[in-house]
């Protein structure tokens, strides 16, 4: 997927091999204290976020398009991020890591866990387990790599006030992790409106960098947008905002090699009598920007949930089951899975 539309010119071998390292905005040639201040006010606090910006986005800082392109190019050169040749792209893909869900079946369905640098979307009805999975991932991300974690922290943007530290504690105890430590490594941001949600993500780069955040959760991606933008005439604006928001998320995920997870509700399809009578909200924007989409639904067996991989750039569609218990997301034992789907 192309994230940046107005790319600076491709990097050559010499720019790749002699790239300088810049630590903060003011280290960049041509960025003085005033521009740096403006950029930071606009949410660009780190070299990583500048490296994934477009020239148009930097315009409000009062810099020319040419200067913006220069700054972006220097920032990109500084942090192994922007490659244009296929062999280099392959190198970038090799830096992708995977995060366990706590269920081997679900991990297998996802090709070995949730991958960094892309967006994974979990959608489903009320109580299907979206938020529980997000909580579990916040704990799992802290595990060492050998145990399926990323040895990092989590950022949780909570739009529905459903984040509960108590759940992290139960899940951490089950994994023999120190619950206090686990809770300290999860940074929660309550988003009160869609604008606030966008603002929080736009300004999260510094927090992500300083706290070694390797998982960014937006739970739920769409609830505010859905309740604030009612009626056909507001749809275009809503979709535009949602698109920009998701692209910011992709850029953060790529810049910090983090897993990005969003949750999404479903809407009934009034004209469908057989098969899936629901579809995720957010239309084409969410459908095309989420790299991996997983549909969660309840089963006839209480805690057992069914996950269906609906869309992935390279994996076949498929289904798997897991269960939600006091311990978190767990494997379904032999015999437990029988029952009507
Ligand atoms: P919405 O956000 O309302 O769309 O739903 P969701 O998909 O986020 O659902 P959520 O992840 O909150 O799942 C809620 C379900 O998880 C509950 O109905 C319970 O079945 C289960 N659950 C939540 N907490 C616990 C717990 O502490 N113990 C057990 N055993 N199950 C739990
Ligand atoms: Mg939820």
Alpha-carbon span 331 to 106, nearest angstrom = 9
Nearest protein Cα to ligand 1, atom 14:
127
**Is 41 in the same domain as 105?**
no
| Domain of residue 274, CATH code | 3.40.50.300
Look up the domain containing 67 and give its range: 25-78
- Domain membership flag for residue 1: no
**Is 68 in the same domain as 104?**
no
Residue 174: both structure tokens together:
């089950």
The DSSP line for 161-190 is S---HHHHHHHHHHTT--HHHHHHTEEEEE
Q: What is the pLDDT of residues 250-281, one digit of tens each?
A: 999 998 999 999 999 998 877 666 666 788 98
Q: Which pTM was predicted?
A: 0.81
Nearest protein Cα to ligand 1, atom 25:
326
- Domain membership flag for residue 99: yes
Nearest protein Cα to ligand 1, atom 4:
126
Total domains present in the chain: 2
Q: What is the pLDDT of residues 156-189, one digit of tens each?
A: 999 999 999 999 999 999 999 999 999 999 999 9
Alpha-carbon span 318 to 108, nearest angstrom = 10
| Domain of residue 46, CATH code | 1.10.150.20
Which atom of ligand 1 lies nearest, measured to the CA of 132?
Answer: 11
Average pLDDT for 278-300: 90
- Domain membership flag for residue 63: yes
**Is 134 in the same domain as 196?**
yes
Q: What pLDDT is attached to residue 299?
A: 92
- Domain membership flag for residue 244: yes
Single out the residue of 36, 71, 32 nearest to residue 50, CA to CA.
71
Q: What is the pLDDT of residues 75-115, one digit of tens each?
A: 887 775 444 577 777 777 788 999 999 999 999 999 999 99
Give me the residues near ligand 2 (ion), CB cutoff below 5 Å.
Answer: 130-131, 162
**Is 63 in the same domain as 97?**
no
């Amino acid at each position: 997927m192309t994230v940046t539309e107005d790319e600076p010119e491709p990097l050559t071998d010499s720019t790749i091999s002699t790239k300088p390292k810049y630590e903060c905005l003011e280290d960049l040639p041509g960025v003085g204290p005033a521009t740096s201040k403006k950029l930071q006010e606009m949410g660009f606090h780190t070299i990583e976020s500048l490296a994934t910006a477009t020239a148009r986005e930097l315009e409000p800082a009062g810099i020319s398009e040419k200067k913006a392109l220069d700054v972006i190019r220097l920032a990109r050169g500084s942090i192994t991020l922007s490659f244009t040749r296929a062999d280099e792209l392959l190198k970038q893909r090799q830096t992708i890591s995977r995060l366990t869900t706590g269920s081997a079946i679900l991990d297998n369905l996802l090709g070995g866990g949730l991958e960094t640098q892309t967006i994974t979307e979990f959608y489903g009805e009320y109580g299907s387990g979206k938020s529980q999975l997000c909580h579990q991932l916040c704990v799992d991300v802290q595990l060492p790599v050998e145990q399926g974690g990323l040895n990092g922290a989590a950022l949780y943007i909570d739009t529905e006030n459903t984040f509960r530290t108590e759940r992290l504690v139960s899940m951490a105890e089950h994994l023999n992790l120190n619950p206090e430590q686990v809770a300290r490594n999860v940074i929660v941001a309550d988003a009160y409106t869609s604008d606030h949600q966008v603002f929080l993500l736009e300004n999260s780069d510094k927090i992500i960098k300083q706290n070694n955040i390797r998982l960014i959760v937006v739970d739920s991606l769409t609830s505010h947008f859905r309740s604030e933008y009612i009626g056909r005439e507001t749809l275009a604006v809503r979709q535009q905002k949602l698109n920009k928001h998701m692209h910011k998320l992709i850029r953060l995920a790529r810049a910090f090699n983090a897993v990005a997870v969003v949750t999404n509700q479903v809407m009934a399809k009034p004209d469908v009598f057989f098969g899936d009578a629901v579809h995720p909200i957010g239309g084409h924007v969410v459908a095309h920007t989420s790299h991996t989409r997983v549909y969660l639904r309840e089963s006839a067996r209480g805690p057992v949930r069914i996950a269906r991989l609906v869309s992935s750039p390279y994996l076949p569609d498929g289904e798997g089951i897991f269960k939600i218990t006091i311990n978190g997301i767990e494997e379904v034992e032999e015999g437990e899975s029988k029952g009507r789907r």
